[in-house]
Every structure is written in C-alpha cells, then in structure tokens.
Amino acid sequence: MSQSAAITGMGVVICGPKEIPDATGNALSAISMAAQEAGLDLREIDGLLINQNELIADDHLTLDLSRRGAFGTLKVLYELESKGTTMSVLLKQATDMVNAGEADNIVVVFADAAISPNAPSGAAFASMGGDTGYRGLERAGGMLGAVAAYALIAQHYFVERNAGVDDLFAVAQAQRSWAVENPLAWIREPLTREKYDEAPLVAAPLRRLDCARPVSGAAAFIVSKPNSSNSLNPVFVRGMAQRHTMRRRHAPHSPWRPVGAAEVFTDALKQARTTVDAIDNLQIYDAFTIVPLVMMEELGVVGPGEAGSFIAAGNTRHGGSLPINTGGGQISGFYLQGATPLIEAVTQLRGQGGNRQIADAGTSMVVSVGGRLESVNALVMGVQQ
C-alpha cells in the first residue's frame, strides 16, 4: 500500500510585543522551519496555499508570497477565505491534491500582524466593522467590535442553558492549566477566580481573560508523502466535515446556535472511519471562552447546559477523560486564528507536548468555527493513515 499524504513539517513564528510585525517575512520563516522538518529544500516546494486573512487589513499575505520566497515551479497557488475554518479546509485540500498527484510538496500558510509596538493588543479587533450594511447598523446601535457579538452569544447561551459566568471561568481556568506547560503561551501562571474577576470587562459578560490573545506571527505546514528524510512522525489528515449556515437576522433562525455542528461531528468521524471513542484530544477554535462551552454541547460530547460543570470537574484537563485545548487555546496560548488548534493537534500527535503531552495521543479532532458561530468545521487527524 502506497503511503498517503501527511503533514511532514510544521513551523510557528510568534513575535514578541516589541517586534515590528511583517506578515510575509514571518510566513517565510515559518515555511523554512516546516521545510527543514520535512527534509525539503525550499525549491522542492511545488504548492502554496494561503489562508486569506483580511480580519485586520494593514499587513497580510498575498499571492506575491510566491515571488518573495525561493519556491520551485508551483503547480498550485491560491488564497482561500472560509473565515476561521480556512486552515483546516486548506490542509484537507493539500492532502487530497498530493494524494491525487497534482503536486508533491504543498505549503499551507497563515500569517497575522494583529499587534505591533504602536497598536496595543485588541485595538485592531475593536475597530472591526464599518459604516455600511448590517455592521453599519450594529455600530449605530452601539455594538462595537467582535467581542460584543460573542457577548450576545454568551447571553443567549446563559438564558437558554441556565448557565453563567462560573461556566466562562471554568473554561478560562482549565485552559490556563494547559498553558502553564506551553512555552509558546503568552501567559503561564495558573488562573485563580480572584485574578479572573479582576480582569476588566470588555463587553459584559466577557472579560479580557475571556478573549483570545492577539499576536503577530505565522504558521506553516508542509503536506507531502512521508519519507525517510522527515525528521518527525507524519500526521495524517483523515477526515473533514463542515456546515455553513450563515447567520440570518430574522425568525425562525437562531441568533446564536451553530446549526449542524452535531452532523459535522459525526460526518467527520465517518470520513475518518473512526468513532468518538478514538478521539483522545479535542482542539477547539476558542476566540472567546463561550465558544468551547457552546461547541462541546452542540457537537454532542456533553449534554445541553453541561459543559461548564464537565470542565470544572477537571475532565478537560491533563489526565481528564477528554483533554481540550491542550496548549491553552487561543485564550491563554496565542491567537493565530485557525492555525492555533491545528498546531496543538500536530504537537500532541507527534509526542512533542513536553509536560503537557497526552499519553499515547493517536487521534485528534480540530473543531474550527467562523463568523459568529455560523461556519463549523471538524478535522480528524491521526498518527495512522
């Protein structure tokens, strides 16, 4: 049986807060790191798939990345935008293309320049919106920035699931417990309730510690057929499913639920020819603490309204029955959009988690979301093809 395509290299660059960000430079650095792991000369790269990222407009990757680097003749080159699910979609596409023989060594890359010494963290995200269309009307209603949109989702969840701030705190604290052991995490001290309550409210009920930590940086993955020049165990993309039920602003459509998430979960497992019991870690796109609560329930891994108590009981921590966001997630780790949960899944499956390593990690599920929980993607990755 011939070997299937796999992730054979990964590179991650995270800038310090004093560094001037450069999306293209960081992307090329991450690509070099990934190529080195895969045992590739840069000129052997024949595919480049770019996560289009216009969340913050100033500095982002374009197709010109292909000229700025030292790649071989490219057989495939494009940018894709599928909101927070883009990186997962691109990894699946790269896998399929290598398996089909359309290219041999494809790079999947994301870069963000969210913060710089002149723009404090969160400032760029706070200004999202504009004066036209729905976003224009929302702004005229006083709703400013992405945090407000997720604060409304949190309130819907609270009302319909009889939940509250204790549940948000449970997420923040559990993820911090993982971040303590992640050298890439922005904050590595255990989180107490006192510290959480001291964090400023951004849009109540969400505090600053309920929000992802913006960083400038890049992530790159090489997808190729594994061979003896790879320095690390390959990670296989085994299945993917998605639903996109764009958020309508009228009855009877839900203003907050990620419709179709349960089907995404079961479809992804079916694609991967595996079962829920095989999933030994779950990495969820967690731009806000409310997201893991909602997604765990909508996927069906816990019942409605049970996520907070499940997390507070320690089930998602190290040694728990279902480890979740084992690098601290986007909240306590770093926010490289859809790359964050993928980086952690690859880290665990390669056994590179150090003190946070899950014993015998064999199968990960990455759940990414886009927009206001309107796009949902589940990607199953494993050490077996």
Partner 1 sequence: MTIDWLLHESAAPSDVAPLTEYLAGSAEGMLVLPFCAACKHPLDLDQLHCDECAHQERVWEAVDPAGRVTVSIMMNRVDARYVKQDAAYPVIEVSLNSGHRIIVSTSTVSDTPMAPGTEVRLEFVRVGTQNIPRIINTAVKG
Is there binding between residue 45 and partner 1 (CB under 8 A)?
no
CB of 327 within 8 A of CB of 184?
Answer: yes
Is there binding between residue 57 and partner 1 (CB under 8 A)?
no
Measured from the CB atom, is 151 or 268 closer to partner 1? Answer: 151
Site size with partner 1, rule: CB under 8 A: 37
Q: Is 189 exposed, middle or buried (0-12, 13-18, 19+ CB in 10 A)?
A: exposed
The stretch among 10-18, 136-144, 222-230, 304-312 that binds partner 1 (CB under 8 A) is 136-144
Measured from the CB atom, is 190 or 255 closer to partner 1? Answer: 255
Separation CA 132–CA 138 (nearest Å)? 10
CB of 60 within 8 A of CB of 26?
Answer: no
CB of 12 within 8 A of CB of 217?
Answer: yes
Provide the residue count of the chain: 385
The three-point CA angle 218-219-223 to 5° equals: 150
Q: Which of 77, 143, 180, 278 binds partner 1 (CB under 8 A)?
A: 143
Residues of span 237-266 touching partner 1 by CB under 8 A: 248-251, 253, 255
Separation CA 344–CA 342 (nearest Å)? 5
Is there binding between residue 133 and partner 1 (CB under 8 A)?
yes
Q: Which of 101, 141, 194, 277 binds partner 1 (CB under 8 A)?
A: 141
Q: Which of 20, 57, 70, 137 binds partner 1 (CB under 8 A)?
A: 137
8-state DSSP, 17: T
Is there binding between residue 162 and partner 1 (CB under 8 A)?
no
Min dist CB 313 to partner 1, Å, is 27
Is there binding between residue 313 and partner 1 (CB under 8 A)?
no
Measured from the CB atom, is 150 or 265 closer to partner 1? Answer: 150
- The CA-atom distances, in angstroms, between 142 and each of 165, 250, 283, 305, 371 are 23, 20, 33, 30, 19
CB contact burial 293-309 (16+ within 10 A = b; e otherwise): bbbbbbbebbeeebbbe
The site map against partner 1 for 186-225 (x = CB under 8 A) is --------------xxxxxx--------------------
Handedness of CA 66, 71, 76, 79 (dihedral sign): negative
Q: Which of 156, 188, 225, 244 binds partner 1 (CB under 8 A)?
A: 156
Min dist CB 147 to partner 1, Å, is 7
Name the residues that contact partner 1, by CB under 8 A. 126-127, 131-134, 136-145, 147-148, 151-152, 154-156, 158-159, 200-205, 248-251, 253, 255
